[in-house]
């Protein structure tokens, strides 16, 4: 049925090992959980050097604040103000952060540090915990801020 007969079947175990994509509905979020307070520990140790003590930015992006600024002359785009889905935050941290050692965090730690960053942005309580279900349930402030490609927009 394969027209060229090229390639070999991918096994479920192989797919599970490589498929780290998280759907915006939370699909494919792994098991595990993490608290804001553990997230603060992870962040202080592994993230603050690049993103600042309070996520205010440095070599790495600013991660906190900016809500309400997107329509102003000086928009501040952060995870809190701009990112439409919390799943994206989890997905990105797991695949790419910390920049010096990507894919090194446990799933629990990714939940924890996501929880901490969301708490810094006022989107999770200071004593909160995140797991697959609660992370998927978060409604980000800019969730409905995106529109399609309207180009050609100059006539």
Unique residue bearing structure tokens 């962040």: 43
Binding of ligand HEC by 79 (CB under 6 A): yes
Unique residue bearing structure tokens 């930015």: 57
Question: From the list 92, 107, 128, 129, which residue makes contact with ligand HEC (rule: CB under 6 A)?
Answer: 92
Structure tokens at 96: 């790419």
Question: From the list 43, 85, 111, 116, which residue makes contact with other proteins (rule: CB under 8 A)?
Answer: 85
Binding of other proteins by 103 (CB under 8 A): yes
Structure tokens at 32: 């595990």
Grouping H, G, I as helix, E, B as strand and the rest as coil, residue 50 is helix
Binding of ligand HEC by 146 (CB under 6 A): no
> Are the beta carbons of 111 and 94 closer than 8 angstroms?
no
Q: Quick one: what does residue 63 bind among Co ion, ligand HEC, other proteins, none, with the CB cut-off 5 to 8 Å set by partner type?
A: ligand HEC
Shortest distance (Å) from residue 100 CB to ligand HEC: 4
């Amino acid at each position: 049925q394969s027209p060229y007969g090229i390639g070999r079947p991918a096994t479920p175990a192989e797919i599970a090992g490589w498929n780290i994509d998280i759907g915006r509905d939370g699909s494919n979020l792994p098991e595990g959980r993490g608290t804001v307070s553990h997230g603060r520990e992870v962040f202080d140790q592994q993230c603050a050097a690049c993103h600042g003590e309070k996520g205010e930015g440095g070599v790495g992006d600013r991660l906190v604040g900016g809500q309400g600024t997107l329509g102003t002359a000086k928009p501040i785009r952060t995870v809190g103000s701009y990112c439409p889905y919390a799943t994206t935050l989890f997905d990105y941290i797991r695949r790419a952060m910390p920049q010096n050692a990507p894919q090194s965090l446990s799933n629990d730690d990714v939940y924890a540090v996501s929880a901490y960053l969301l708490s810094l942005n006022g989107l999770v309580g200071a004593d909160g915990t995140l797991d697959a279900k609660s992370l998927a349930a978060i409604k980000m402030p800019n969730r409905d801020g995106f529109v399609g490609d309207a180009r050609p927009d100059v006539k």
